[in-house]
Structures are given as structure tokens and as C-alpha cells.
Chain A
Amino acid sequence: MLEVLGLKKHYGSLVAVNGIEFALQPGDIFGFIGSNGAGKTTTIKMLATLLEPTEGTARLNGIDVVMDPMEIKRRIGYMPDFFGLYDDVKVWEYLDFFATLYEVPARERPKVIDNVLELTDLSIKKEAFVATLSRGMQQRLCLAKCLVHDPELLLLDEPASGLDPRARAELKELIAELGRMGKIVVVSSHILPELADFCNTVGIIERGDLKAFGPVREVVKTIQTAKVIEIRLLEAAPEVSMFLHGKPHVTNTHMMGSTTVKVEFAGTEQDQAEMLKHLVDSGYKVTEFREEAADLEDVFLKVTTGAVQ
């Protein structure tokens, strides 16, 4: 379990990370979302022991990042946002070097290297020189490096940036697999659609504050200010817009063609049921009545443009 406890980082008068708190369980894939300069890298570096927090700390299975960085290092894999690999050696030699640093016993190393190469789909490149790998392959090799010591927590800072769509899709699959292996995976991005579909938990950070945190659906719900209900009628009824306009909790209505109306609604589910009953009682033949699923992207835009405080 990863517990982040009031993590704070000041650079002079600039507050890069403002006391954020959250917790993750094994198997969680956490999408850490925020625009450029929001504080993602700063947070991840503090978790990776590469940056001393101004205040607060984090614990991985009870081990404190600030008090015992060496123990933390043995349990995490960190992929920086920008990185270079030693490119004058072969792929397996690169991994062998890091396996040695992570104290993988010499006789287990060949097996471990084969395993991580297989997992990252690089087996055929085992004997290739690192310099000859494409950007996507280097990204995967870096991830393979992060896995040689079977870490409990993976910190991946903008892993998808600079990848073509295909490489990105492969990376997503790989990250999902790591989640299934029971690791805690933290993936940051400033581009939301990259993460929305395979994370089970998201956090939205803006100017150092964690604005929202939780399972994707819950985050969407808490952030959402008004829900949108789409109503379809059997017969054309342009006046339904007027009919609904003055009703309780309705903040706005739009006709979408002659049989469909979108209603911005601020009430509870009970109020929603009342409105439906009212419609039916008034003789409208309702064929469809559904809440539009607001997607994470809307939420992200709302949060990061300051629509939600």
C-alpha cells in the first residue's frame, strides 16, 4: 500500500506541490493527471527519493520515503519523464548492469532478463545495441529496467509522451498487465485520453493541489456540477423544451432535433424520477430517458480551467 501523507514541496516562494494526500492499493493503476507545471514530476520525484519534500512524506508498505530511502529504492521502479540509456551496450547487457545494481543474484540474472524482455516484448532485440532501438522500444527497455528487481511500486512519469499511437497502445497493455501482477502503478500525463481508459484510479493535480482523487467514475461524479439528461420522445414535440424549462432543478434545456431534448439538471436522482413522472403524466411518450455519461475529459477541463474550486 502506498500512502502519500501531506507531501509538500516549495521552491523558494513557489509552491510546486501543496500537501497532497492519497493512498493506493496493490493492483491500482493510478492516472496522475495535470497540465504542464502542475506538480506531477515534483511529486513523483519525491516518491522516488530523488527530491526531499519540504514537508510530509510517503510510505510504501510502512517504509518511509524520507527516513529510509535505500529500502524504498529496492522496492520501486522509476521511469523519468526525460531519460537517456547507455546506448553503447547491448539490450541484455544494459539489463544485466541494472540487475547487478539491484542485487539480483548472478545465476538468476539471465532468467530475470529473459522474463522482463518477454514482458516488454523486446525478446527479439536482446542482442541488439541499445542505440539501434526506436523511441518506443527504448521506452519499453527503460520499463524493463524498472522491473528487473520485481518492484512493488512503479512510478512512470509521462511514459506515453513522444510515442506513436501504436506504441502507446502497446504501452497501455503492458501497464495494465503490471496492474494485474499486483503492482501499484503511478502513471502521469498531461494528456487525459491517454489514461482515461485503463486507470482504475485518477487524481487531478492543478498548481500543486490535488483537486480530485478516486475511482474514475466517482471523480467524474464529484466534479460534475450539473448532469445532462437526454430525453427522446416518440413524436415530435418542439414545445417540450418550454414545458421543462421552468420545472424544479432544471437549469437549461436544448432541443436536439424535433424529438430529442437535452436537460441540464441539478437535482438528485429522486428529483429526476419526479421529472420523468411529470413528463409522462403530461402525455409525453418518452422512449428514452438517460443521464449522459460525462467523460473524464470534461471533468479535467473543468477542473483545470478553474470551474471547480
Chain B
Amino acid sequence: MSRYSVKHLFVGNPMFAEVVREKNKAFAEHNWRGAQLAARVLLLVIYLFQLILTLRYVTYVEPFILMYVMLGLATILIPAGLHGAIAGDREKRSLDMLLVAPVTPGQIIIGKFGKTFLSLMMLIIAVGVPALVIELVKETASTSRFDLHISGVVGFFRALALVIATGLSMGGLTMWISSKTRSNSGAMLATVGALFVVLIVIPAIGGVMSALSPSASELLVSTNPFVLLYYAYNGDPNYGYPNLAENHGSFFLWPTITLMLLLTVFFLTLATENLRNIARGRVES
């Protein structure tokens, strides 16, 4: 098993048992009693109510609002779910048990990342399902779309790709932070700090820079997922002014998604390297 073998991370990775452990946790009987049960039932009712309502008033609902909800959830929930992935095990002193098992640090990182990412992404996609339903209904009813020239269904999937890529890169960043910290609370604090930088400081710099360096500012703004999401969903509006930035807003969609995927690999590699150092005792577990 070579150190940089990618296959062993995804094929026959025993750490995918984490998914089973997560499932056992979620479906444990004690979670189907009392307050836990009530909360779950309530969430389900809210979800169904929202679904029925959107379908009932399908022509009035702007589905891409739901995509913003998805993007918001992806940027918050995924870091929230992942910050303790390594730090939590370190704090609980259960990490050594994983490190003496015959799995590589890369398999541990992918297993822990995959488990949380997949389960949260399933939730997030469930939130967006009504948007897809609406688009499909609109498509078959062939409602004309005001000055936008891509299909709503295609728009949905382009936006979904952006949401997933954003979730992946935020998750990768969080895994790296988690592999660097020793306690859940420390990881939480560092993750919140990182979110603050990514979601507030960088867009603010983009805004401020527009006076000094318009092109750099435009790049920062145009690659911001919250800005991009609009174009991902709706395509480029044609206002009739050929040079307007908004005319080619979606130009940055695929480069940004590619960049996010590269960042994910980069951060997960850093996290693996940190875990390898812990596994060899170069850094205390």
C-alpha cells in the first residue's frame, strides 16, 4: 500500500465502518424516545408541510431561494459537523485506538470526512428537493422564464454542484483545522474563525478593493459562492450592455468549482499529513 495510493482510500477502506457507526448512533432506540423523538417528528412535519406548501403554490415560489438555504446550510452545517472529527477523538483519548488499527491516516481522514459529509449532504439535498420538483413542474408546464436563458432543471443541478463543491472545500478546511487542534472547543473556535474569514473578511476585502484594484475585486466577488449561486441557477441575464460584469457572471462557475475541489484535496492532504505525524508520535496524540 503506497503512501500516496488513492485507490485504498476509497476501495475497501475499513474506515467506512464509520458510516455504520453513525447510522447506529442515529437510529439507536434511545433516540426514538422522549424529546429526541418529538424533535424528529416535528422536523419531519415541518419538512412535509413546507413541501406541500411549495407544491400547492408552485407558480408563486421562487425555487432558487431554496438553493441559498442549501448553500447556507452547507457552509455552516458541514464545518459544525466535522470540527470534532479528529480533535474530538484526541480529546476523548480514543484516537490511539484508531491509530493502532491497520488503517492508514488517509483512510481515517476519508472515512471520518465521508461519513459526516454524506449524512449532512443528504439532509441538505432533502431541503432542496422541492426546488427541483417545482422546476420539473414548471418545465412540463412550459412557463416562460423572464430574460433568463437556461432551463430551471439545469440551473438546479449547476447550483447543486456549487453547493456540493462549497461543502467539500469547507469540510476539507475544517478537517485540517480538526487535525491541528486537541480539543473539540479549540477546533470549534478555530473553525468559527475560519468561517468568519471566508464568509465575511474576504468578501469585505473584495468590496473595499474595488476602489484600488477593480479587477482583483471583481475576481474576489465573482468567485464568492453566494454571488455565483445566482448565476449558477439562472444563467447570465442579458441586459443588452455587452461589457457589464453581470453579463458573464456564470463564467466563473466551473473554474470556481474546480478550484474548490482542488482546495478540498489540498486540505485533506494536509490533514492526512498531520494525522500521520500524530500516528508516528512526532506530535503528541
A residues apposed to B, CB below 8 Å: 45, 48-52, 70, 73-74, 76, 78, 80, 82-86, 88-90, 93, 96-98, 100-103, 129, 142, 145
B285 within 8 A of A: yes
Whether A78 and B100, one on each chain, are in contact in the complex, defined by CB atoms closer than 8 angstroms, is yes
Please report the C-alpha to C-alpha distance between residue A52 and residue B279 in the assembled complex, in whole angstroms.
9
Could you mark each residue 263-285 of chain B with 1 if its beta carbon is under 8 Å from any beta carbon of chain A, else 0? 00000000000000001111001
User: In the complex, how many residue pairs between chain A and chain B have their CB atoms under 8 Å apart?
Assistant: 78
Please report the C-alpha to C-alpha distance between residue A152 and residue B112 in the assembled complex, in whole angstroms.
29
B53 within 8 A of A: no
Q: Max chain A CB contacts within 10 Å: which of B14, B18, B30?
A: B14
Whether B1 and A80, one on each chain, are in contact in the complex, defined by CB atoms closer than 8 angstroms, is no
**Which residues of A lie under 8 Å from residue B282 when comparing CB positions?**
52
Could you mark each residue 234-260 of chain B with 1 if its beta carbon is under 8 Å from any beta carbon of chain A, else 0? 000000000000000000000000000
Please report the C-alpha to C-alpha distance between residue A89 and residue B97 in the assembled complex, in whole angstroms.
16
Nearest-neighbor residue (CB-CB) of A9 within chain B: B281
Whether A48 and B100, one on each chain, are in contact in the complex, defined by CB atoms closer than 8 angstroms, is yes
Please report the C-alpha to C-alpha distance between residue A309 and residue B280 in the assembled complex, in whole angstroms.
33
Say which one of B21-29, B54-62, B130-138, B223-231 lies at the interface with A.
B21-29
Nearest-neighbor residue (CB-CB) of B1 within chain A: A70
B69 within 8 A of A: no
Whether A101 and B103, one on each chain, are in contact in the complex, defined by CB atoms closer than 8 angstroms, is yes
**Which residues of B lie under 8 Å from residue A93 when comparing CB positions?**
21, 24
Whether B281 and A51, one on each chain, are in contact in the complex, defined by CB atoms closer than 8 angstroms, is yes
Nearest CB on A from B8, distance (A): 11
**Which residues of A lie under 8 Å from residue B285 when comparing CB positions?**
50
Whether A50 and B14, one on each chain, are in contact in the complex, defined by CB atoms closer than 8 angstroms, is no
Known: A50-B285, A52-B282, A83-B93. A76 touches B100 (CB 8 A): yes
Please report the C-alpha to C-alpha distance between residue A302 and residue B121 in the assembled complex, in whole angstroms.
63
Beyond contacts A73-B101, A83-B97, A90-B24: 12 other A-B pairs, Cβ-Cβ < 8 A, are A49-B100, A50-B279, A70-B104, A80-B96, A83-B94, A88-B28, A90-B28, A93-B24, A96-B20, A101-B14, A101-B101, A129-B30
Nearest-neighbor residue (CB-CB) of A85 within chain B: B94
Whether A101 and B17, one on each chain, are in contact in the complex, defined by CB atoms closer than 8 angstroms, is yes
Nearest-neighbor residue (CB-CB) of A103 within chain B: B14
**Which residues of B lie under 8 Å from residue A49 when comparing CB positions?**
100, 279
Nearest-neighbor residue (CB-CB) of B108 within chain A: A101
**Which residues of A lie under 8 Å from residue B96 when comparing CB positions?**
50, 78, 80, 83
Known: A70-B102, A78-B100. A50 touches B20 (CB 8 A): no
**Which residues of A lie under 8 Å from residue B25 when comparing CB positions?**
88-89
Please report the C-alpha to C-alpha distance between residue A108 and residue B88 in the assembled complex, in whole angstroms.
31
Whether A45 and B1, one on each chain, are in contact in the complex, defined by CB atoms closer than 8 angstroms, is no
Nearest CB on A from B29, distance (A): 10
Whether A100 and B20, one on each chain, are in contact in the complex, defined by CB atoms closer than 8 angstroms, is yes
B110 within 8 A of A: no
| The 5 A-B residue pairs with the shortest CB-CB distance in the complex, in nearest-first order | A51-B281, A84-B92, A100-B17, A101-B101, A73-B102
Q: Which of these, A45, A90, A145, contacts B97 with CB under 8 Å?
A: A145
CB<8 Å pairs between A and B, sample of 8: A49-B100, A50-B285, A70-B104, A80-B97, A82-B93, A88-B28, A100-B17, A101-B98
